[in-house]
Chain A
Amino acid sequence: MIDKRVQSLAEAVAGIKDGSVVLCAGFGGAGLPDALCEALIEQGARELTVVANNAGTGRAGLAALMAAGRVAKIMCSFPRSSGSVVFEELYAAGKIELELLPQGTLSERMRCAAAGLGGYYSPVSVGTRLAEGKEHREIDGRVYVLEKPLKGDVALLAADRADRWGNLTFRKSQRNFNPTMAMAADLSIVQVRRIVELGELDPEVIVTPGIFIDRVVQVAF
């Protein structure tokens, strides 16, 4: 029987190892798996590389994980926003490594990994500092850089509803990185507002089929 539901946040994040690459969904305040990030603090995994669009807001969720000293490196596109206090403190103190990627590159590299591909050629960043050191190739008169797949050991996700198969629906701009990160990690863990009976989610509305999901936990958020 397929049942991806777990009973607690602790169970949701059990077994995540030190040094993991953690894909952390969310854009601004929408679609953030805050409860999972905070459960990871309890769990104790450290030396993490986090892949996220931003670098935490306020002191909850990912920011709390960073403040607890568990994140060695963050790969993101826009670390600084109003309220990114924890990241800025750590960065100024040299306590966290930053790798900056164009936002679309972040997304497409993860999709590439999810799709089992070896890489892709992108026109984005050509002629800029972020293309330095990358293989360049001219294809049909346009210059591209080679981007490699970006796979996660773990994805921490947030969705609106799930069933026991792990099928997910989202609400508005909560969706953002969740579907791609779900597909690009070996272990995909999602916090949802409501777990519903199998069959209650309209197949036309399921955005992430459960094949990509390993653990589902219900949280109020």
Chain B
Amino acid sequence: MPLKRRQIAWRAAQDLADGAYVNLGIGLPTLVSDFIPEDREIVLHSENGILGVGPAPGANEADPDLINAGKQPITLVTGGSYVHHTDSFLMIRGGHLDLALLGAFEVAENGDLANWTTDDPGFPPGVGGAMDLAVGAKEIRVLLEHTTRSGAPRIRRRCGYPLTAAGAVRRIYTDLAVIDVTGQGLVVREIADDIDFAALQARTEAELRPGPDLKPLRAPTV
């Protein structure tokens, strides 16, 4: 079965290393915080100057002074702290974050990332912290649906949309597969149960190779 969005987030969460400092980009990656394995302590960074982003507050407990990068109310975990914005981006740009999990419109076989604009004339463009994260975090992994709603591939030879950063992405999680970006091209590590490799390739513009230990991509109902 292709994974649902929450399941893609679950799968990405399984790869979090204990003790990692992690930024979750807006959109699909924010769901990852719901699935952090219990045996791992992760410090979540929010670009507006928070280390130790905690779960959403209860209904009557939202504090308007405490929000995340998506402007949603959050709580602070024990051990958390606040910094001003320039120091927050020092953490990002200066390579202090172990990992950023980002959404994407497209990813290319060389790791190019496009996730800030589709040049839609009806939409004023916005970039936020995407370019900083893409260049600064020690590692970038992206979460996205394998194709657009109309079936066009999002994993491409080269991105059609304006780039956020060149060569940034190391691992891609989709509803159909887990794929690594390597020096020798895209390598599929896991593939959803009822899709065969040829069907996966048919939905992908870039060339895919199966990894030596290719496994099924499965996620629990979450």
Contacts and interface: CB of A to CB of B under 8 A. Distances in A.
Contacts of B42: none
Interface string A156-199: 00000000000000111111111110000000000000000000
A91 B86 CA distance: 28
B25 interface: no
B65 A171 contact: yes
Contact of B128 (A78, A88, A180): A78
A199 B210 CA distance: 66
Interface stretch (A37-45, A96-104, A211-219): A96-104
A104 B67 contact: no
Contacts of A175: 49, 82-85
B82 A173 contact: yes
Interface stretch (B5-13, B148-156, B162-170): B162-170
A30 B67 contact: yes
A28 interface: yes
A46 interface: no
Contacts of A126: 135, 165-166
Contacts of A82: 71
Interface in B42-98: 46-50, 63-67, 71, 76, 82-86, 88-89, 92-93
Contact of A81 (B71, B83, B132): B71
A79 B124 contact: yes
- Range class of the B interface residue count: 35 or more
Interface string B123-166: 11111111110011000000000000000000000000011111
Contacts of B67: 27-30, 173
A87 B126 CA distance: 12
A76 to B, nearest CB: 8
Contact of B135 (A53, A107, A124, A177): A124
A107 B165 contact: no
B64 A128 contact: no
B114 to A, nearest CB: 9
A91 B166 contact: no
B86 to A, nearest CB: 4
A178 B71 CA distance: 17
Nearest to B76: A172
Contacts of A174: 65
A53 B126 CA distance: 10
- Range class of the A interface residue count: 35 or more
A105 B86 CA distance: 9
A126 B132 CA distance: 10
B64 A77 contact: no
Given A29-B64, A79-B124, A173-B48, A104 B89 contact: yes
A103 B64 contact: no
Given A107-B85, A175-B82, A129 B162 contact: yes
Contacts of A207: 84
Interface string A118-129: 000011111111
A95 interface: no
Interface of A: 27-31, 53, 77-82, 87-88, 91-92, 98, 100-105, 107-108, 110-111, 122-130, 170-180, 207
20 contacts: A28-B71, A29-B67, A77-B126, A87-B124, A101-B127, A102-B127, A103-B47, A105-B132, A107-B88, A107-B89, A108-B86, A108-B93, A127-B163, A128-B162, A172-B82, A175-B83, A175-B85, A176-B49, A178-B84, A180-B85
